[in-house]
Structure 1
């Protein structure tokens, strides 16, 4: 028998609760009941939201990023803004969200890409090891346990430690802002970052250029890279790719 797994317990055991204002109220939690797996709601009730690793990763208030979701997915033929519940983000604005059908939605704001993963459909040794609770929890431990945040575009090394040392930590309503931005000709190196407002910066990025809906192609499906690849499918807000 497969041993029982407790969502988010590994994060608590290794890193402790997030640094923040403590547990949320029952009334606030019930606003999200049925919209995001119960494992995340119970974690909010018991441990609250906040940051780990000096602000590198944040369990965030979905309502804080509601304007971003409304703008990004306005009139999208597949993804309704109200169904997207952002719950995890990094210091550079990368977002993980939950969607009732698509499951894990990744919003790579600095690359203008949206993708999704549904690990609940995977079958390993004849079983489906992930339910919704484990699926929503998985990205949290993966993020906090390793630094997969923005990397130097020149040599591929993460920039967080250098940015933190130069600028200090951010608040929950802030983000490290890339100026000039990578998509607008910047180098994407640690020296390009300053501190700015989270919602304001992400709103700017959404207006800068269209976001692309991508899908993952595994090597078994013909993906050319050793671990597969992301393929552009369409432009967010449209049913096809828009030049």
Structure 2
């Protein structure tokens, strides 16, 4: 195990609900996703970390989610993307075949954060290792509600997430009492239909 993934495990804890990745999936994404990610899949499978706060996922399984969120946007003109991970609340991590870790979407809020990856056109395997090593619990724990949601609603399975009902895009409040546990892919596709995706830009030095 490399030091980057060791840092990831130190922060996010051991895997749960592990699913072995079939060789056909490895070959399907060979040349599209970094070899390092495929190696992680072979060794660790698709699974949850931090008690189900963060999940590595099958990009093929999440193709309907990708199409729902960016299929009709200019992002698809820039690169070929794949969803490689998600959070318990619907944070989606996209990997571009050319632009690497250049796009994240927060589905409940219907907004996204595009950014330039320093690994674009560079060492994509190092970029992938770095992607994992910098992940932390706080960035995935919306409103610091995960522990309470897990206690109230139960442990998530690999195909489940916590979602707000009514959805935030429909005016629902972002409170624990309005969280429900449901199927991840179906809920993420539903959220994409509620409002246009808003593109957020990182703050510049002039904003400070």
With structure 1 as the length reference, what TM-score do the two structures score?
A: 0.74
Q: Can you give the 5+ residue segments of structure 1 that lack an aligned partner in the other structure?
A: 123-129, 153-157, 226-243
In 2, are the aligned partners of 1:120 and 1:131 still within 8 Å (CA)? no
Q: CA deviation at 1:66?
A: 0.7
SS in 2 for 1:85: strand
* 1:132 alignment counterpart: 124
Q: CA deviation at 1:92?
A: 0.7
Q: Can you give the 5+ residue segments of structure 2 that lack an aligned partner in the other structure?
A: none
Name the stretch that deviates more: 15-24 or 199-208: 15-24
Q: CA deviation at 1:93?
A: 1.0
In 1, are the aligned partners of 2:89 and 2:142 still within 8 Å (CA)? no
* 2:88 alignment counterpart: 91
1:29 maps to 2:26: yes
In the alignment of these two chains, the number of paired residues is 206
* 2:193 alignment counterpart: 207
- RCO higher in 1 or 2 (8 Å CA, sep ≥ 6)? 2
1:73 maps to 2:65: no
RMSD: 2.6
* 1:240 alignment counterpart: none
1:168 to 154, 159, 173: 154
| Gap change, CA 1:184 and 1:14, over 3 Å in 2 | closer
Q: In the TM superposition, what whole-angstrom CA distance separates every residue of 1:155-199 from its partner, at most 9, and x where no partner exists?
A: xxx110111110111111111010122222222011210111111
Larger radius of gyration: 1
